[in-house]
Structure formats: C-alpha cells, structure tokens
Amino acid sequence: MTQQYPPRRRRRRGSLNWFIFLLALAATCVVGYMKLVPSFEQRDAAYEVEHPIYYNGVLQQHGAFIQDEHVKLPLPLLDELLDNSPIYYEQESNMLVLTTLDKVLRFKTESLNALLNEKSYELNIAAQVENDTVYIPAEIIEQLYGLHIQQLDGDVIAIYDPEFTVQTALVARSKGTALRAEPHIKSPYYKELSANQLVMVWEEGESWSKVQTMDGVQGYVKSAHLRAQDPIVYTPSIEPYEGLKHDLTGKKINLVWEAIYNRQPDLSSMPAMEGVNVVSPTWFELVDGKGTIQGKATHEYVEWAHGRGYQIWGLFSNGFEPDQTSEVLASTEKRFYMIQQLVAFAQLYKLDGINIDFENVYTEDKENLVQFVKEMMPIMHEQGLVVSIDVTPKSNSEMWSLFIDREALGKLVDYMMVMAYDEHWAASPKAGSVASLPWVEQSLLRILEEDQVPSEKLVLGMPLYTRIWSEEAQSDGSVKVSSKAVGMSKVDEIIAEHKLTPQYDDSIGQNYVEYTEDGVKQRIWIEDETSIKARTALVHKHKLAGVASWQRSFAKNEIWPVIEKGLEQ
C-alpha cells in the first residue's frame, strides 16, 4: 500500500499568494490615498520685496515704496513699462523730466515745486531716492500716462494698462476651495477661499486656473470650482493727443530754405516763388556750450513772408560744432534754456514753426538729441508751432548719420526733412551726381521701411544746386578731382556759352554735360526741370508730405512753377 502525504507545500504557496495580493492591494490603496488626498500644508505667499508689484497680472522684479499711505514706483520699473523712455533722470541735479506728446513735467526729488511745460506747478507728493533708486509718486504716473494703479487690500500694488480687461470669477464651491502655490493638490496652499469670493482670473486651464485674490495673493484653484463673472474693464483716463493742427495740415509742403549768413536778403528783388507755402530762414544758431542762441531774424522779413502767405519755420542750427552741442544736450538746464529762447524768438517774430538742423554731432549724443526734442515738442505745440527736423540719408558716418535716431524722432516731430543730396559731396574723391534719382529713392525707402517713419511726415529735401566737377590729369598718371557748387542759372549760362547739348541719363534720372576748359575736363550732372519733375514724382509715389528745397538763391525763376505743378499732380 502506498502512503499518502498531505499537500502542505501547495497550501503554503496559496497563503503566500494571498499575502502578496493583500500587500499589493494595501500598497495600491496607500498610493491612491496619497494621490487623492490634498496637501494640508499652509504657507504664506513669499515675496522678495516688501511691496510687490503686479503689472497686468505678472509679478515684477522691483517693489514699490509706500510712505504715509502714498505709493511711489521705482524708476527702473517705469523704464520697462512705459514706451519710448519718457522719463529722464539727471543724477547730478536730482532733476526728473517726464514727457508725453503734449506735456513736459520737470521737478527735483524731495521737492513739490515743478514746471508743467513752462508754467509753475505744485505736486502733492515728492519723488525721492531710496537706496540709490528713484521713486516717483504713482499719482503723477497715472495723470501723465494713464496707467491704472491700485493698492490692493494687502501690501501688493497692481498696475494695469490704460486699456485692459481683467477676467473675474466667483468661488462656486459651497465649502470654498484652497488657493495653492502650484496647479496640483499636493502643492501647499496659501489660504482657503470662501464661497462666492471674487477673484481675478489670469490663466484658465482645463483642470486648474491661475487666479489672484483682491488682496493680491496669486495662486491656483481647480477650474471646476469657479463660476465666471463679468470682467473688470479699464478704460483710458486720458484723451489721446491728436497732434498739432495747422494751416498746412493735409496739404503738400512746399518749403524753401533761405540761407542767411552775413547779409539779409534783398526783399525787393525776391522772385515770385509760385507754389511755395513755407520759408525757412537760417536765423538761429547755437553759439556756445551754455546754450546761448544767436538770432538773425528781422521783422521786415516776417512782414514780407506773411504778406505773401508763407509760413515761417525758423531754422535752428547747432553751428555744426560737436563739442558745444554735446555739452548742451547733456544738461537738462541747458536744453530747457534753449527751448525757452526759441519760444521767445517765436513769440517776438510771430513764427509758425521751428526747423531743427543739427549736424556734425557725436554718436554718443544720440539719445540726448532725442530727449531734447521730447522736451521741446509739448512746449512748441502749446505755442502753436510746427516742429520739423532735418536728417541725412542713412550711412555709416558717425558724425553725419549714425547720431540720428530717425525712428524715435519720427514719433515726435511733425515733419522730417530728408536732405537727399550730397551723394557726391564737395570733397568727394570721385565725380558724380549730387543726388541721383535711384540714390534719392533708396534713401527715402530706408527711412520709411527700416525706421518706420510715417510717409505723411516725410519731406523730400531737393538740391537746387549742382557741382561742376574738374578732373585734371597729373604727371604721375592720377586724376585730381575738385568741385564747386553753382546754382541753376549758372549751369544754363555754361551750356549756352559752350554750345552744349545735355544728354539724358536714364540710370540716374538727370541730364548730363561735359566739356574741356583750359585742358581740364569739366563734368556736370544737371539739376533742372527734368530732375525736379522726377523728384516731385517720388512725393506722390511714396505719399510723402512734400518737398524742401536747398536753397532759394540757387534756384532759377523758371523752376518754381515746375515744383508747384509737380506737387499738384
């Protein structure tokens, strides 16, 4: 008989399997519990600054300064938030200059005395410097730039753009909900939100939404726990400045510069200048590093010009002297002194505008030149004065081109004159046109496209002169090139004297002649009716504001009707 043994091993294996199953089930429950049970850890919202600032819902690096319940904002933050750098601080004098298109406000830190444009103005709260940071009262920023600035229930400051919409919601869960640091239930929470508590919604996700309480704490809640409400809509508190309206608004500018050096022009012999509507005499010049402006204006010229129906835009030059230009542009006091003098001249001589002509300027003065124009524009417009500025075509020349921030200036001035001439300048090593048509058009396009200057502000500067180029062979086989500038009538005399027949060069849009005199080759790229018609055609092609011609004494009488007709077409 065979002996039978009980299946003990099988029972042990079955028990072990049950134990493993129960252990896995327990582990699953623990893991599930750990996943489903929220964190009960509470923490305070931590900020790196005492008075944090949110801009359109985004926490900023810089904090506010609050004194006697008055909120003051740090200048570094305002530099980041405001377009076109409208706040200038001069550390040496503690002077702040705040500009808009129609206002310039000047005041020193720790002082309530200010100047608004040119008038005395008293501040309610003073700016101050704390730990080398300038803080400006929030109410000034609201009044000038239209930002909406709020001190929330806590120590948090909220700033909103002039036109901004904040989505809001109510906490819909009857027991409230936790405001968590991160968008998951295991994240620590800042506070419990009560039922029907209003919050601002900054990001709305499928599971979690980023919200902010009315006392400034920002965090995450489950999206299902929110019920959307009507948004908070911030509207502009400041009417937008529409610019200066003047007699030539919407009309083509037909300006001619009147170069006045040592003698005043003989008004009795002035040509009719058909179609001209603006004259710009070179009357005002910076003469020292203090900001002194020398004037050559006369009441006789003013009466003559206004009697003909011309506007007078007095030209203000820096004298092409870079050192004194640098000195005055770097000083808030000297910039203001120049502006005050120009206003006084404008009032005395009943001017209609100012034409700024700064040339031969250090590249490092680029920003200060823009600042000068920023500070100048509101005051000039308050006086009803049109402001224009002369700029060269873009090039790599530091002293004649790179110092000009055409994009920034184009946002400020009423008109920008592109001096589209001197393609081949007086001392050019190579003879050529003063302003070939392709070069002129390319000069315009670069400013229109690269610098985004509006076409309705751009005025095409045209030469009424040309250069007679002499090319003289040297004994070493080289050619010596020299030139002299002459007006239109002189070229006509040369053509008649030498019985020349101008040849049209289609590649440059000009007539051309050459001849030999005393064994020296003479070459002239002619400025005449042909070239002027081509230039005025560019005005219409690119929808420019008009033309500005340099300068009146170079013109022949027959050219004025050509310009007039060209602008009318």
| pLDDT tens for each residue of 378-419 | 999 999 999 999 999 999 999 999 999 999 999 999 999 999
- Name which CATH class applies to 53-159: alpha beta
- Report how far Cα 209 is from the mean position of its chain's Cα atoms: 37
- Residue 139 scores a pLDDT above 90: yes
Is 3.40.1190.10 the CATH classification of the domain at 253-463+529-568?
no
Four-residue CA torsion sign, 24, 28, 34, 35: positive
Domain ranges of the chain: 53-159, 163-234, 253-463+529-568
Average pLDDT, the chain: 94
Environment class of 507 (CB within 10 Å of its CB; exposed 0-12, middle 13-18, buried 19+): exposed
pLDDT for 260 beyond 90: yes
Percent of the chain with pLDDT over 90: 89
d(Cα 503, Cα 266) in Å, to the nearest integer? 36
Instruction: Indicate the pTM of the whole model.
Output: 0.91
Angle separating helix axes 332-349 and 322-329, nearest 10 degrees: 100
Sign of CA pseudo-dihedral 10, 15, 21, 23: negative
For residue range 111-132, list pLDDT tens digits in order.
999 999 999 999 999 999 999 9
pLDDT computed for residue 241 by the predictor: 95
Name the pLDDT band for 21 (thresholds 50, 70, 90): low
Cα–Cα distance for residue pair 301/305, rounded to 1 Å: 6
As a whole number, mean pLDDT of residues 355-360 equals 99
pLDDT at position 4 is 55
Average pLDDT, integer, range 210-216:
96
* pLDDT band, residue 238 (cuts 50/70/90): very high
Q: Is the pLDDT assigned to residue 15 strictly greater than 80?
A: no
Task: Tell me the two tokens of residue 522.
Answer: 């003479």
- Highest mean pLDDT: which of 3-12, 36-45, 183-192? 183-192
Q: Both tokens of residue 37?
A: 């049970």
d(CA 52, CA 157): 6
CATH topology of domain 163-234: SH3 type barrels. (2.30.30)
Q: How confident is the model at residue 17 (pLDDT cuts 50, 70, 90)?
A: low
Q: Above 80 in pLDDT, residue 206?
A: yes
128: exposed, middle or buried (Cβ count in 10 Å: 0-12, 13-18, 19+): middle
In whole angstroms, what is the distance from residue 190 CA to residue 181 CA?
A: 7
If you average pLDDT over residues 474-500, what whole number do you get? 97
Q: In this model, does residue 442 exceed pLDDT 80?
A: yes
Angle at which helix 437-450 crosses helix 529-541, to 10 degrees, equals 20
Q: What is the mean pLDDT of residues 149-169?
A: 94
pLDDT in the model for residue 486:
98
3-state secondary structure of 220: strand
Between β-strands 520-526 and 465-473, what pairing exists: parallel, antiparallel or unpaired? antiparallel
